[in-house]
Structure 1
Amino acid sequence: MVDSASIARERSMLLGAVSDFVLGLLFLAVALWANSLMMLAEVVRGYILLALEIVLLVLLRRIQRGQFHDFDYGAGKLEQFANAGLGTAMGLAGASIAVAASYRWWHPPEQAELGLMAAVVLSAVNLAQNALVLRSLWKAGRDGSSVIITGQVRTRLAKLISSGIVLLALLTNALFNGSGIGLIAEVAGSVFVAVVMLQLAVSMWKQALPSLLDRALEERQQILINRALVTHFDVYDSLASVRSRLSGNTPYVDIELGFAADRTMADIQEAVDRVAHEIAQLLPGASVTVVPRLQSVPHAA
């Protein structure tokens, strides 16, 4: 059963995704009308981030319903695959916008004055929308229990600041259309969005790469695992295997313990629970799996 707080988190993300999609369509239409590279850059950036929002919303819904085990490589892996792919798209788009902005500097475009005024109005609406969605996300995630919502709050705050700067650049471009000041505002605003996109691309890849490339645990963490096994050596009969890795910031520990065939299931389960609990206490946030194996009974000669 999903509680009211979980539903509020999902609705806040859904509100942001739907409003981003609708405003993106309007932005695209006005960008083509006004011949504004700055607005077109905002559309591209917005839709790439929207794709990531949708992935995160799907993850949030599954996690809150206990369905994260449906993903073969874990919910975190799916998020990081999305980060890597969309980060690449963001980087390529940012570089393209930067090249287009430099071209406009040497070849000033003709821009529709009425279209630019419409762009200013729509940008103001976008600023208000980001503020409202930020407030909704903050209210839904102020308990700090959802990492996804906390990340979305930071992302939406960055969007709010960025949309404010774009609004000022569009207003300057509209007021001084056809002049050098207007051209500087158009090019500078486009370059700003391109730089933000490139920074986001680097950030998304930095976040994704460690999780996509699993690493060995630190020696200190491996010592803690061995300590737990030694502490409870009397509750199991043999140690079959110990495998550990670090995926992103999450340690994964898989242990196989051997038990004599004449031991009861209750006794075995108690032993497994004690070892798993000890390791989880020593490695906070770790995913610990302890698998019991029955030892074969030797046949009489």
Structure 2
Amino acid sequence: MAPTAGPVLSEYRTKERFVRNGFLASFSTFTLKLTAALLSNSLTIFTDLLRNVGETIACFFAWQTMRRIAKGKAGTYDYGYGKAESLSSLLVAGVMVVSLIIALAGAVDRFRHPVDTHRVELGFFVAVYATGLNTLLWRRKYRLTRAAPSPIMESQWHLFRNKALVNGCVVGGLGLDQAFDGAPWALYIDPAASLVVCGFLAYSIYNIATKNTADLLDRALDESLQLVILRALAGHFDEYAAFHGLRSRRSGTAVYVELFLEFEGSKTMAEVQRTIESLKTELERHIPGSRIVIAPATAKVV
């Protein structure tokens, strides 16, 4: 059994509660926005509803993923649950892509055939409520992510930041639309506000997809962390004979590094182990969340 399994599962249970609360918040605002969209003919409200539908579904799947992880058997997965988190985060991005396509099509149509909006008051007040609620959840999830980073929590705080900013744009768009009601150019406020919402969606999709795709493909650590490893090796250059390879990958919050070093044949195993422990301790101190394995080797490892 992995020695860190207990604390890891406890951490995931805390995250599961946060993700569940996010789903419940998204579902509560979805029902209100659905009512507002049915009462009005505002594209901004409809686009926001589409975005909320996608995000509510994504939050539900993220919650279910985290729930399954939190109930997992300790030690079943030696490398943690990072890939499950990344897959769930990519699901968030995938659902958002569908919403983006529908919203863009609606905005283009409204620019070509402008429509005067009506009965948007409920949508305005729902957007004000949603802005406050999502801002609160955004800050809470951000603090938890900084304390215990993970792909799914990273995507969640980005998601709720996006929700708060977009709802703020919806408030502004609907407010301007009503303030200048009757002006010929005011017909274009609604589709223009919808395009702003689409911009936030596209930005979030890009951030979530690029980061989590790299983690799923086991991309090596970025250059800054590799430099940390090379500096540590340089500091111990007289304690090993040759460097034969480096492998690295991420799995959720954990960083896995494998180093292959050759040692002088005259050294005892006890001396080799002291060097390994010294180098391992130094690297794990400088790379948070790292799991370092240093293996003796006599030839290059690819």
TM-score (norm 1): 0.67
- Whichever residue aligns with residue 118 of structure 1, its letter is L
Q: Quick check: 1:214 aligned with 2:218?
A: yes
Match of 1:147?
149
Q: Quick check: 1:189 aligned with 2:193?
A: yes
Match of 1:109?
115
Select 1:100's aligned residue among 102, 106, 110. 106
Match of 1:296?
none
Match of 2:169?
165
- Whichever residue aligns with residue 123 of structure 1, its letter is A
Per the alignment, do residues 79 and 180 of structure 1 end up closer, same or farther by CA in structure 2, a change over 3 Å counting?
Answer: farther
For 1:215, what is the secondary structure of its paired residue? coil
Per the alignment, do residues 232 and 28 of structure 1 end up closer, same or farther by CA in structure 2, a change over 3 Å counting?
Answer: farther
Per the alignment, do residues 205 and 5 of structure 1 end up closer, same or farther by CA in structure 2, a change over 3 Å counting?
Answer: closer
For the 8 Å contact 2:220–2:248, the answer to whether it is kept is yes
Range 127-136 or range 220-229, more displaced: 220-229
For the 8 Å contact 2:36–2:122, the answer to whether it is kept is yes
Per-residue displacement from partner, 1:35-54 (whole Å, max 9, x unpaired)?
A: 22212221222233344444
| Residues 37-52 of structure 1 mapped to structure 2, 5 A cutoff | 37-52=43-58
- Whichever residue aligns with residue 248 of structure 2, its letter is R
CA distance in 2, matches of 1:41, 1:123: 12
| Residues 1-301 of structure 1 mapped to structure 2, 5 A cutoff | 11-54=17-60, 56-57=62-63, 70=76, 74-109=80-115, 111=117, 113-114=118-119, 116-134=120-138, 136-137=140-141, 141=144, 144-148=146-150, 152-153=156-157, 155-176=159-180, 179-216=183-220, 220=227, 223=230, 244-247=247-250, 251-254=255-258, 276-277=280-281, 279-281=283-285, 283-289=287-293
Q: How many Å apart are 1:168 and its aligned residue?
A: 2.0
CA distance in 2, matches of 1:59, 1:68: 16
CA distance in 1, matches of 2:14, 2:210: 30
Number of residues paired by the alignment? 282
Match of 1:298?
none
Q: How many Å apart are 1:187 and its aligned residue?
A: 0.9
Per-residue displacement from partner, 1:133-160 (whole Å, max 9, x unpaired)?
A: 346546x649x42225676455434432
CA distance in 2, matches of 1:58, 1:230: 48
CA distance in 1, matches of 2:279, 2:207: 38
Range 76-85 or range 277-286, more displaced: 277-286
For the 8 Å contact 1:134–1:157, the answer to whether it is kept is yes
For the 8 Å contact 1:224–1:279, the answer to whether it is kept is no
CA distance in 2, matches of 1:34, 1:209: 39
- Percent sequence identity is 21
Per the alignment, do residues 131 and 203 of structure 1 end up closer, same or farther by CA in structure 2, a change over 3 Å counting?
Answer: closer
For the 8 Å contact 2:30–2:56, the answer to whether it is kept is no
CA distance in 2, matches of 1:52, 1:285: 27
For 2:289, what is the secondary structure of its paired residue? coil
TM-score (norm 2): 0.67
CA distance in 2, matches of 1:30, 1:211: 39
Per the alignment, do residues 135 and 89 of structure 1 end up closer, same or farther by CA in structure 2, a change over 3 Å counting?
Answer: closer
For the 8 Å contact 1:228–1:275, the answer to whether it is kept is no
Per the alignment, do residues 93 and 60 of structure 1 end up closer, same or farther by CA in structure 2, a change over 3 Å counting?
Answer: closer
Unaligned runs of 5+ in 2: 1-5, 262-271, 297-302
Unaligned runs of 5+ in 1: 234-238, 258-267, 293-301
For the 8 Å contact 1:173–1:181, the answer to whether it is kept is no
Q: How many Å apart are 1:62 and its aligned residue?
A: 7.2
Q: How many Å apart are 1:186 and its aligned residue?
A: 0.8
For 2:55, what is the secondary structure of its paired residue? helix
Q: How many Å apart are 1:193 and its aligned residue?
A: 0.8
Cα RMSD, aligned residues only:
4.7
Q: How many Å apart are 1:169 and its aligned residue?
A: 1.1
Q: How many Å apart are 1:172 and its aligned residue?
A: 3.0
For the 8 Å contact 1:216–1:245, the answer to whether it is kept is yes
